[in-house]
């Protein structure tokens, strides 16, 4: 009887052996992921062990989803399972899913440093950037190819060890059908992540570990799978709509007796400009001597932050006051065609000429499409520049040349105008034009040389602009899009510091000078500009003007869960439960969780975060952003 059961369960046992190979692969990969990115995780041994243990739940879910056909081919009770061709087909199905799992996982070993979160499906929306990105990625991270090949070979060797022909036994269809039903149900439970009401989701990783370790718990195939075909946000109701609107009022109107000032507006977004590089905002010289000097003639926000971790999240935040509070970037989300107002559309309606300048290849990051939807009239990219001699070989036109081109284009534009300039030379692979190869010493990281080059290019831009008639009547706003992959100082790897960047307001010859020391975020830039211009019509923005002293100030982020912080404390929120509170000013490494000892702080920040989520989701779902 026992021998009969062994024969009848042969394919079930074989299936578990093969799935255990994949589960072991996920654990090995998680160890590699930790080694490659250990600096961003909580370094307590117990915390790391907990991340590995809780991660198994997400691994099992991903394994079952990606191997659904493979599982079915093992469990279905048919004689063909003993056929050589059927076994070959089963093996091919296994390797197709496994190679994909290994590929996306290995890529994320290094890509995680740039995105600061596990890769989600929206990265496939960047199809126009893939050719140059992939070639450069393979060149810079050639060792990942070796890891990829090595893991595939190991999987093949282990799979072959399971390739044993079963004994020829007549199929007990009743028994094996029962196995199919029972274990099919078990695999469905495993895919759901357990018996809970709803299938396991990415934010569930925050329920059991330090918020810093959420990405260590998750795995890349799971995050891609969970964001594939995402239809959009779910409407939530933590409180009444009136209460949420009081906490987060997005419909703005400032009644001002002052006359609207038709000043030019130039917003400069500097690629990867972290606060870490600004000497004035640190206790060391820094790498931006020009921006440091300019900041003394303007208003610098000393406690400013990004609302996302990628360029395509920064542009909607800065220009349209739309934060990134979902897995997909707004530009590639299902809400990308919503009616919105932006600094471009609002000022265009006031008679401004509006434009966007980015030296990258047209179509990169979806900027050109978003800019049109946001109401900007003209887009100037690599195509419009029209001189490939200044192409950097990777992303587009080098900053020095493109910024000079921009200054001259603005000089040809009728005033008033509103222009956005997005630099690119401080983007990986951090290449310098040959003529400047030895001009910028930098520091211990390659990006520092290119930040110095971009700072130099901005200096040349301002020298040119200051000689032109439109300069004195222009409000300049300078900020970064996000922080870079690598940092020297531990604070800039923390859950708050990883968003820290400068924001500078500069109006030549005005009294707009000094420092603004409360927290500020990218979504505050648009309402601040409109406030400075004395704009008094209604508009929609999730941020608040820095000139409005009546507002309590908060910063909002989303990265494997929500984060909100004020001038002292930061709260991590899963969407259902608060998971951590830190006092980031004194605990710069985010090491001490105060959620139990500071319930009043937790309750206050959680209520604010809930209000923002409710208002944000409703506004996007119901197209109420204009």
pLDDT of 113 above 80: yes
CB of 55 closer than 8 Å to CB of 219: yes
3-state class (DSSP) for residue 417: strand
pLDDT of 129 above 70: no
3-state class (DSSP) for residue 521: strand
CB of 448 closer than 8 Å to CB of 485: no
Chain-centroid distance of CA 62 in Å reads 22
Q: What is the pLDDT of residues 38-64, one digit of tens each?
A: 888 877 899 899 999 999 999 999 999
pLDDT at 402: 98
pLDDT at 525: 98
Q: What is the pLDDT of residues 212-262, one digit of tens each?
A: 888 899 999 998 998 887 668 889 999 999 999 999 999 998 877 889 999
Q: Which of 348, 321, 261 is nearest to 534 (CA)?
A: 261
Q: What is the pLDDT of residues 530-583, one digit of tens each?
A: 999 999 999 999 999 999 988 899 999 998 899 999 999 999 999 999 999 999
Q: Where does the pLDDT of residue 270 fall: very low under 50, low under 70, confident under 90, or very high at 90 and above?
A: very high
Q: What residues are paired with 504 via a beta bridge? A: 300, 478
CB of 305 closer than 8 Å to CB of 590: no
Q: What is the pTM of this model?
A: 0.80
**Residue ranges with strand state E in 153-272:** 251-252, 264-270
Q: What residues are paired with 456 via a beta bridge? A: none
- The predicted model gives 495-502 an average pLDDT of 96
CA distance 473 to 415: 9
Q: What is the pLDDT of residues 78-99, one digit of tens each?
A: 988 888 899 999 999 999 999 9
Q: Where does the pLDDT of residue 124 fall: very low under 50, low under 70, confident under 90, or very high at 90 and above?
A: confident
Question: What class is the 241-481+509-621 domain?
Answer: alpha beta
CB atoms near residue 575 (< 10 Å): 18
- Tokens linked to 303: 């406690």
pLDDT of 26 above 60: yes
Average pLDDT for the chain: 92
Instruction: Please give, one letter per residue, the 3-state secondary structure of 542-567.
Output: CCCCCCCCCCCCCEEEECCCEEEECC
pLDDT at 566: 95
Q: Residue 241, class by beta-carbon neighbours within 10 Å (0-12 exposed, 13-18 middle, 19+ buried)?
A: exposed
Q: Per mean pLDDT, which range of 115-124, 214-223, 335-344, 617-626 is the poorest? A: 115-124
pLDDT of 178 above 80: yes
- Tokens linked to 545: 């003007």
Render 324-340 in DSSP notation, one character per residue: --SSS-GGGSTTTTS-B
pLDDT of 206 above 90: no
- Tokens linked to 569: 């404390």
CB of 276 closer than 8 Å to CB of 487: yes
pLDDT at 127: 57
pLDDT at 125: 67
- Tokens linked to 79: 């004689």
Cis peptide before 69 (omega within 30 of 0): no
pLDDT at 559: 87
Q: What is the pLDDT of residues 508-525, one digit of tens each?
A: 999 999 999 999 999 999
Q: What is the pLDDT of residues 450-481, one digit of tens each?
A: 999 999 999 999 999 999 999 999 999 999 99
pLDDT at 165: 73
Q: How many helices (H) and strands (E) does the chain have?
A: 20, 16
Q: Where in the chain is the domain with CATH 3.40.720.10?
A: 241-481+509-621
- The predicted model gives 333-342 an average pLDDT of 86
């Amino acid at each position: 009887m026992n021998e009969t059961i062994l024969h009848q369960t042969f394919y079930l046992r074989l299936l578990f052996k093969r799935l255990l190979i994949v589960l072991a692969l996920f654990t090995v990969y998680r160890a590699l992921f930790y080694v490659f990115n250990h600096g961003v995780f909580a370094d307590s041994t117990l915390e790391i062990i907990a991340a590995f243990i809780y991660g198994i739940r997400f691994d099992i879910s991903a394994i079952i989803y990606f191997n659904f056909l493979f599982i079915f081919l093992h469990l279905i009770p048919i004689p063909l399972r003993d056929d050589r061709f059927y076994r070959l087909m089963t093996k091919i199905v296994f390797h197709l899913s496994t190679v994909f799992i290994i590929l996306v996982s290995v890529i994320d070993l290094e890509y995680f440093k740039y995105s600061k979160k596990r890769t989600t499906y929206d990265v496939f929306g960047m199809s126009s950037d893939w050719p140059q990105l992939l070639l450069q990625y393979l060149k810079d991270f050639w060792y990942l190819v070796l890891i990829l090949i090595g893991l595939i070979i190991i999987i093949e060797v282990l799979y072959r060890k399971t390739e044993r022909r079963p004994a020829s036994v007549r199929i007990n269809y009743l028994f094996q059908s029962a196995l199919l039903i029972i274990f099919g149900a078990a695999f469905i439970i495993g895919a759901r992540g357990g018996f809970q009401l709803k299938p396991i989701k990415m934010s569930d990783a925050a329920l059991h570990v330090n918020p810093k370790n959420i990405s260590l718990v998750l795995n890349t195939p799971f995050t891609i799978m969970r964001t594939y075909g995402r239809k959009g946000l779910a409407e939530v109701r933590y409180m009444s709509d009136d209460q949420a609107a009081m906490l987060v009022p997005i419909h703005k109107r400032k009644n001002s007796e002052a006359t609207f000032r038709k000043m030019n507006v130039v917003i400069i977004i500097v690629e990867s400009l972290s606060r870490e590089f600004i000497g004035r905002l640190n206790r060391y010289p820094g790498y931006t001597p020009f921006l440091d000097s300019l900041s003394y003639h303007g208003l610098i926000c000393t406690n400013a932050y990004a609302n996302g971790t990628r360029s395509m999240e920064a542009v909607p935040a800065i220009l349209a006051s739309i934060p990134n509070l979902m897995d997909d970037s707004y530009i590639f989300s299902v809400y990308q065609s919503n009616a919105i107002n932006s600094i471009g559309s609002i000022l265009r309606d006031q008679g401004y000429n509006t434009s966007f300048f980015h030296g990258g290849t047209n179509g990169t990051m979806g900027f050109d499409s978003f800019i049109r939807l946001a109401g900007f009239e003209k887009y100037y990219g690599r195509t419009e520049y029209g001189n490939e001699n200044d192409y950097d070989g990777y992303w587009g036109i080098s900053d020095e040349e493109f910024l000079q081109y921009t200054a001259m284009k603005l000089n040809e534009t009728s005033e008033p105008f509103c222009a956005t300039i997005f630099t690119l030379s401080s983007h990986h692979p951090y290449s310098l034009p040959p003529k400047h190869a030895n001009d910028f010493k930098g520091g211990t990281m390659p990006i520092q040389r290119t930040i110095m080059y971009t700072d130099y290019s901005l200096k040349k831009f301002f020298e040119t602009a200051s000689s032109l008639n439109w300069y004195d009547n222009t409000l300049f706003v300078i900020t970064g899009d996000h922080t870079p992959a690598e940092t020297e100082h531990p604070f800039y790897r923390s859950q708050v510091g990883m968003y820290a960047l400068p924001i500078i307001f500069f109006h030549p010859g005005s009294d707009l000078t000094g420092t603004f020391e409360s927290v500020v975020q990218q979504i505050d830039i648009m309402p601040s500009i409109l406030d400075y211009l004395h704009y008094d019509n209604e508009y929609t923005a999730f941020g608040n003007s820095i000139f409005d002293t009546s507002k309590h100030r908060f910063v909002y982020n989303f990265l494997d869960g929500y984060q909100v912080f004020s001038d002292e404390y930061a709260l991590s929120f899963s969407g259902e439960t608060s998971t951590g509170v830190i006092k980031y000013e004194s605990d710069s490494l985010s090491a001490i969780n105060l959620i139990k000892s500071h319930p009043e702080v937790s309750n206050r920040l959680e209520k604010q975060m809930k209000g923002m989520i409710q208002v944000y989701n409703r506004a996007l779902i119901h197209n109420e952003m204009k």
